Amino acid sequence: MQTYSEVFEVHQTDLDELQHVNNIKYVEWVQEMSKKHWLKVVDEAIRNEMVWVVKNHNITYLKSALLGDAIKATTYIQETKGPLSIRVVELANNKTGELLVKAITEWCLLDAKTFRPKRVPEVIQKLFT
């Protein structure tokens, strides 16, 4: 399984009125990590031919992140079926290793010109396994 990870810090603008990371921010991080992984692995020619859209997010919030926490975000493709790709994004406290959030997102691949669903080509599947 091919993974992509990065570490970043929680900033004041990431917090809600309870001084925890806002749930919307977690969704943004999940989407950003997915995009960064895609951009890192595939070349521009492939990116010009196909685009991804979210079909479903399932996010489990386990613990809160606070101002100044370092977050380690890791993502990988769990499974691919037809035009669908199941991507996992895990957000953990980089210092303690505690899992904070686990997101399982169902992405649908579309043809970039017609915006119709397109089976994930085997060449793409192999790039992520």
User: Tens digits of per-residue pLDDT, 117-126?
Assistant: 999 999 999 9
Model confidence at 106, pLDDT cuts 50, 70, 90, reads: very high
Model confidence at 1, pLDDT cuts 50, 70, 90, reads: confident
Which positions ≥6 away from 114 have C-beta within 8 Å? none
- Mean pLDDT, residues 26-32: 97
Which positions ≥6 away from 101 have C-beta within 8 Å? 26, 30, 59, 60, 61, 62, 89, 90, 91
Total domains in the fold of the chain: 1
Q: What percent of the chain has pLDDT over 90?
A: 98
Q: Would you say 37 and 4 are in contact if contact means Cβ atoms under 8 Å apart? A: yes
Terminal C-alpha separation, the chain: 4
pLDDT recorded at residue 73? 98
**Domain containing residue 23: CATH number:** 3.10.129.10
Other Cβ atoms within 10 Å of 85 Cβ, number: 23
Query: What is the extent of the structural domain holding 46?
Result: 3-127
Is pTM beyond 0.85? Reply is yes
> Tens of pLDDT along 62-99?
999 999 999 999 999 999 999 999 999 999 999 999 99
Say which residue the tokens 């769990």 belong to.
Answer: 78
